[in-house]
Amino acid sequence: MARVLAITPNPALDLSIGLERLVPGDVNRARVCRTSPAGKGNNVARVLAGHGHEVTVTGFLGAANAGAFEAAFVEWGVVDGFVRVPGETRTNAKLAEADGRVTDINAPGMAIRDGDVGRLAEAVAAEAGDPPDAVVMAGSLPPGLTTAMLHAVLEPLISAGVPLWLDASGTALDAGLALAPALIKPNGAELAACVGRELVSPADLIDAGRELQGRGVAEVAISRGADGVLWLTRTDVLAATAPPVTVESTVCAGDTLVAGLMHGRLSGWPDIDTLAFAVALSADAVTRIGVGRSDTPVFETLLGAVAVHAVDIEAPVE
């Protein structure tokens, strides 16, 4: 299998709370409550390691509460390359309601100093000496980490020709776009922010994705929630929809989708098979609190029910 470096600049402990319905200003009774080490890049790494890839995780981790992450990295089977910084890694609250609505309450993260960035740059440069097959950077940027700093950290990998997979929004997405990533995975709102206009229809989404490809992005996977995924590869546009499932939490669905696409690509699968696998894996993820798994009894059923087709961009897109 492949070697992957997963960068999570701003990881978090996720406090996932499942409840019937959130009533602001009232006492709410949780059906389930769980705290787990997370961060988008860590979630991707967890899925990839579970499918046999050799994964190193890195970014900035608070020294004061690193223990939970260290135990998780051992459990997941990933190599811990995180730079320890003073303080505690943030805690984010995810409030998942029975109808599938999720309310995120995200903390800003620890303030990062120049010396911390220098240590991360050294760690990444060491990885570039024996380049991995791919690097994925996912999630937000912590306070103090500028776009220029991020580019300096990633430059050795980019210069070594390592493909960059990017799953981010806001400042982190803007910073990554300048590095001509191999793939980005925006949702509709994030894509609209990138191109600076409202995107109403699937055709609008495709046009916006093509615009980003014209600006140097190789591929764009547009997540559309229950409406599925549009994947603009270098040559085609593929659309996929998943069967309806009982939703427990949508928190890790996007991270699982990215990992599924990476797994298929790194395994040399055809694009149609890769997209079907990734969408089924993401559908499995929403049935639980946590990432998707392909070793569940229902996964093969989900995979068989995923519909994938090539989009004729000359015809109306539904």
* Inter-residue contact 243 to 253 (CB < 8 Å): no
Starting at the earlier edge strand, list the strands of the sheet with 91-97: 30-38, 12-19, 91-97, 102-105
How many separate helices (H) and strands (E) can be counted in the chain?
10, 15
Residue 181: which residues within 8 A CB-CB, separation 6 or more? 163, 164, 165, 166, 217, 218
Find the catalytic residue in 255, 271, 295, 312.
Answer: 255
Q: What is the 3-state secondary structure (H, E, C) of 195-260?
A: HCCCCCCHHHHHHHHHHHHHCCCCEEEEECHHHCEEEECCCCEEEEECCCCCCCCCCCHHHHHHHH
Amino acid at 276: A
> Kindly report the CA angle at 123 between 117 and 127, in degrees rounded to 5?
140
| CA atoms lying within 13 Å on the CB side of residue 80 | 15
Whether 255 is a known active-site residue: answer yes
- What is the spatial distance between Cα 230 and Cα 241, in angstroms, rounded to a whole number? 9
Dihedrals phi, psi of 6, to nearest 5 degrees = -110, 115
Q: Are strands 30-38 and 12-19 parallel, antiparallel or unpaired?
A: antiparallel
* Positions marked active-site: 255
